[in-house]
Amino acid sequence: MHLYEALTEYAKGEDYPYHMPGHKRRAFGAMPPETYRMDVTEIDGFDDLHAPEGLIKDLQSRIARLYGAEESFCLVGGSTCGILAAVSAAVFEGGHLLMARNCHKSAYHAAYLRGLKLTYLIPPVLPEFGICDALSPEQVQAALEADPSIEAVLIVSPTYEGRISPVREIAKIVHSFGKILIVDEAHGAHLGLSGAFHENSCQAGADLVIHSTHKTLPAMTQTALLHVSGKRVDREKLKRFLRIYQSSSPSYVLMASVDNAVTMMERDGEVLGQKLKTEFSELLSDLSACKHFHFLTGINSDVGKLVIHAGDSGFTGQQIYDMLRVKYHLQLEMAAGDFCLAMFTVGDTAEGFRRMRDAVLQMDAQAKPAESAKRALETPKLPEAVMSLGDAWDAPFEEVPLEKSAGRISAEFLSLYPPGTPLVVPGERITQALACDLATWRTQGLRLRGVSDEGKVRCIL
């Protein structure tokens, strides 16, 4: 029996709960009663995420089979806890991690917690979009040749905007150096589940892979997966870190929603994937009629990520995002300086595709083209690292107005959110160019992290 079936059955039954959670499986306030009826804890017959022997063990085995991993774990703390556990298990305390600069903050948090030395792989920037592109195997090879003390490599693929790296080739290189490859595939939980999508990183040979099932599959927020394969990773250590970083009371409603999504993909993944690919290709084909906006496409782009670039429309990314939300009631995933991002998944309806197509075509037709004074977008240079992340994040600081911050050492992560990948890591020097960009984005209303409402940043004293 599947976990969600067992919970649904249990919800209909007579059992009185003399156990947690405190709502006693009764509805309080305005929440729908069904959710409470299913929200149990580790009672008899429902297994234990931290020592699975029954329903959860079966679910995890099915997940491993589906993705092509040797062992899989359900996560209820998002990919965040999968990344924390993967990095902690793959690199010794105080060790050396080679990681993509566009990693999610959880990777930096893992490095902070474990006192790691970081060396960065800088993804090239797609010049016309200002977006991080895929990493090349040559970059990884060169970095590993340059420093034998590196213990593991962490890359992000697909990126937030859907760029996919050649993981199979990268895995071969990393393994030829005897190192561990971790792939943050948070945005690719659908990969490998249909011929319509790229293969996933378990299939491509990575040692540790993290998927946010809540991002691109129909599972509830916070749900994610961690997969491990091969002999390079100490699995006992991995499980220890999962016990450390995950709640000791994992939500059964969340785990049931993973089961539900996985079952759907086991049964219908091929068809659903092909349908999404067809609908998404049709959308891109219809949108190619736009005169001003343009769209990120190509072999390295994942199916479903619609990156709308403002082109010469005269709009900023935030304005396009706001118009789509206010006028057309279309809520996008994020806005950046010159583009915004909409996500399509196997959970979308024909209406979702139609409304996006009609709105974008209409906005493009109404745009009043402006002479754009855009800078050529280049791969950014790494800010100078003056102190280690750990030392800087714990150091005394003062609040400094952005316009006076150039040249100072940052005591905080500075980023655009979402996705929150750092522009500056604590311990790095803030450049004049970045201080200007942050000030501009602030006036454009973009969501910044690390900059206060008064436009101040924390700098080391």
Ligand X SMILES: Cc1ncc(COP(=O)(O)O)c(C=O)c1O
> Residue numbers of the site for ligand X (CB under 6 A)?
78-80, 104, 106, 156, 160, 184, 186-187, 212, 224, 419
Cα–Cα distances in Å, from 289 out to 144, 293, 352, 360, 373?
A: 45, 9, 19, 10, 24
Residue holding tokens 């990773």? 233
Nearer to ligand X, 389 or 400 (CB): 389
Nearer CB in complex with ligand X: 104/294: 104
Q: Report the residue number, 191 or 360, with the smaller CB distance to ligand X.
A: 191
Instruction: Work out how close the CB of 265 gets to ligand X at its nearest, in angstroms, rounded to a whole number.
Output: 18
Q: How far is the CB of 184 from ligand X (least distance, A)?
A: 5
In whole angstroms, the minimum distance from the beta carbon of 163 to ligand X comes to: 11
Q: What is the distance between the alpha carbons of residues 136 and 122, in angstroms, rounded to a whole number? A: 10
Residue nearest to ligand X (CB): 78
Task: Specify whether the CB–CB gap between 342 and 328 falls below 8 A.
Answer: no
- Of 389, 73, 101, 116, nearest to 210 (Cα)? 73
Supply the minimum distance, in Å, between the C-beta of residue 82 and ligand X.
8
What is the nearest approach in angstroms of ligand X to the Cβ of residue 158?
8
Burial 169-179 (b: 16+ CB within 10 A, else e): bbbebbbeeeb
Q: What CA–CA distance (Å, rounded) separates 280 from 344? A: 8
The CB-of-430 to ligand X minimum distance in angstroms stands at: 24
Closest to 155 measured CA to CA, from 181, 131, 174, 180: 181
Pick 59 or 224: Cβ nearer ligand X: 224
Contacts of 350 (CB under 8 A, 6+ apart): 279
Which residue's CB is nearer to ligand X, number 100 or number 171?
A: 100
Nearer to ligand X, 135 or 435 (CB): 135
Surface-to-core class of residue 313, CB atoms within 10 Å of its CB (0-12 exposed, 13-18 middle, 19+ buried): buried
Closest separation in Å from C-beta 23 to ligand X: 25
Rounded to whole angstroms, the Cα distance separating 350 from 358 reads: 12
Q: Closer CB to ligand X, residue 217 or residue 409? A: 217
